[in-house]
Structure 1
Amino acid sequence: MKMFQNLDPELAAALAHLDLPETGARGYSLDELARVRARMAAARRAALVPDPAVTIEDVWVPGPPGEPELRLRVHRPAGEPDGPLPCVYWIHGGGMTLGQPEQDDRVAARFVRELRCVVVSPDYRLAPEHPDPAPVEDCYAGLTWVAAAGPGVDPARIAVGGASAGACLAAGVTLLSRDRRGPSPVFQALSSPMLDDRAGTPSMTQYEDVLVIDRAYIVESWTALLGDRRATGSVGGHAAPARARDLSGLPPALVDVGELEVFRDEAILYAMRLAQAGVPTELQVYPGVFHGSEKLVPDAEITRRAVANRVSALRRAFR
């Protein structure tokens, strides 16, 4: 894929020594998609390094009505916590077709260490085998369990967040919870959010064939989730939050996105609409940054700045 000359210099230097990951499931049959998932899961297991400051437990909780149980990956500070702790309900990315909570173990560990909180990540069902509304309903079921029964969790201090497709689900479950009068998160942290199934913003075409995530993959991901409904009038805000007509009554938000990625404009537009609806909103657009650079180049200065700002925003929300 193409790379732009105005990349952050530190990211550009690092890219020269990196093998970029596969974009996703373009053209894969379900059998091939299963092989990609298995290969990615094996790579994640091989890369896991236990953090002595964090304990991890997988728990099974009720899923949506009539559906299978849901696995939640729960990260806690090691040792005995002092009273109920705040919780980051963090949802993994992967274009709705790939991924597991384990891929964000390092993200969760940093939240646990720096915020002294619990982090819970749902292992939601994936498209295309489980199209909309399965992923967002799974995430909502997990959130309701955490708010009602999460041991050691302060239900008044739950933040919802995620990156890429995980940020889409975080925004969608926040809307769903508002509309159903369910749990009331105190904050939403949306990183490089995938929000609009129509895939028609200027940045979507400006960067449609660059770096890690391109427009073709995004269209296929939304099609896997929505089928023939993609880009039609029958898509609602719980599936594609950019389609939500009313953003009022939502918790404060941090929306951050890279300048050089397809999701830039839909993230900016969503942040603007949140603010216009009276939702306290912080928007960060990081210059020279592309989608996925936070994981590919975690030690870059601009990466450290973005992560530190996210942690700081959550810390303020938990006060």
Structure 2
Amino acid sequence: MSATPPHPPFDPELAAALARSAMPATITADMIPARRSAARGITDEALATLGLGAREVRIAGFEGGGVDLTVVEPTEPSGVGFLFLHGGGMIGGDRRAFPALLLRWASELGAVVVGVGYRLAPEHPDPIPVEDCFAALEWTVAHTAELSIRPDRLVVAGTSAGGGLAAGTALLARDRGGPRIAALLLTSPMLDDRDRTVSTQQIDGVGVWDRTSNVTGWTALLGDRRGGDDVSIYAAPARAGDLAGLPPTYLDCGSSEVFRDEDVAFASRIWAAGGRAELHVWPGAFHAFDSIAPDATLTKQAIAARDGWLVRTLAEQHPRSTEAENTTAAGAPAPGTGTGS
């Protein structure tokens, strides 16, 4: 067996934060129960300190199974909405594990956020998670008036596994003729089950969510189909042959994480299809660096880039966007709960 190829060095500030954290590099199947029990989302009390309210809704997901949603509502909604799909490697996570930036957009921009409690693998394998997310998209679009969301300002956002599910949901919406999505925000999306890229080989036993973790997550979702020919593009969007017709898409990742190469390839194929994508690869960043090191210089740069993309995207679609929207990028991240893989 060949030696693990060296990975790009971690940013020193991020490496110091990683050394202080309790986040393991490797997740195996026997660790799934502990990962789930450790998942904690933001409480109603913490949301209230940001001027936000929350309510719980249960909808019918794939084949009638129940899917829980958390609807976060500002005092004065602006018409902007986010359907948020949490991380957790397909095997864990919490619908209330909202990134700090998303909570700031809710608090300062007046965005409504719908967090989706899609059902988890391995108990609920593919296609259940992505179909649950699509059901949540359909529900949100059907209730935009009640939610004070403008149908042309609904963004689907996801991080890690949630980023892959967001891309899969967007492909389902494209291929089923709707609902319309205004934009996609994909933070370190988990897109490819095949374990063939250089970055999957490099990130082995180091960082956060390494190669073994990735195999654990994809195997839970796909079982014996992982890496084979019988995997749909909605489960593993990196397999899509045609990425035309996707909404404007933002992708970012670290140079030192498993998902780097599949994320770069996904953005490149959106461009090749004539689509719109903005891609950032943060040098020396590992997976979930922004939640582990929220005050790091690189994290602040990543937050500013996401801020800028949102403001530009909304302004391009709606030239008369408010002054508040155009000044949001200058704000500092609000306290919140980040997500991992």
Q: Is the pair's TM-score, using the shorter chain for normalization, greater than 0.5?
A: yes
Q: Quote the residue 2:326 is aligned against.
A: none
Matches of residues 153-302 of structure 1 in structure 2 within 5 Å?
Answer: 153-302=149-298
Per-residue deviation at 1:6? Answer: 2.8
Aligned alpha-carbon RMSD (Å): 2.2
Match of 1:74 in 2: 71
1:202 deviates by 0.7
- Looking at structure 1, the residues matched to 7 and 194 of structure 2 have their Cα atoms a distance apart, in angstroms, of 25
Structure 1 unaligned spans of 5+:
none
Query: Cα gap change, 1:172/1:48 in structure 2, threshold over 3 Å: closer, same or farther?
Result: farther
Mapping of residues 104-123 of structure 1, within 5 Å: 104=98, 106-123=100-117
Partner of 1:146: 140
1:192/1:81 Cα in 2 relative to 1: closer, same or farther (>3 Å)?
A: closer
Aligned to 2:38: 39
- 8 A Cα contact 2:26 2:210, kept in partner: no
Q: Greater relative contact order (Cα 8 A, min sep 6): structure 1 or 2?
A: 2
Question: Following TM superposition, by how much is the alpha carbon of 1:146 offset from its aligned partner in structure 2, in angstroms?
Answer: 0.6
How many residues were matched structurally?
A: 308
Q: Output one character per residue of 1:41-99: Cα deviation in whole Å (capped at 9) or x when no partner.
A: 4xx468973333221221122323x322321111121x2436xx111111100000001
Matching of residue 14 in structure 1 with residue 13 in structure 2:
no
Distance 1:211 1:59 in 2: 36
Structure 1 counterpart SS, 2:98: helix
Q: Is the 8 A contact 1:259 1:287 kept in 2?
A: yes
**Distance in 2, Cα, partners of 1:36 & 1:289:** 23
Gaps of 5+ in 2: 1-5, 316-341
Is the counterpart of residue 95 in structure 1 residue 89 in structure 2? yes
Length-normalised TM-score, structure 1: 0.90
Aligned-pair CA distance for 1:107: 4.1
Question: Quick check: 1:124–1:135 contact (8 Å CA) kept in 2?
Answer: yes
Instruction: Give the aligned residue type for 1:81.
Output: P
Contact in 2 for aligned 1:189/1:253 (Cα 8 Å): yes
After TM superposition, give the deviation of residue 39 of structure 1 in Å. 3.1
Give, in whole Å, the separation in 2 of the partners of 1:254 and 1:264.
Answer: 14
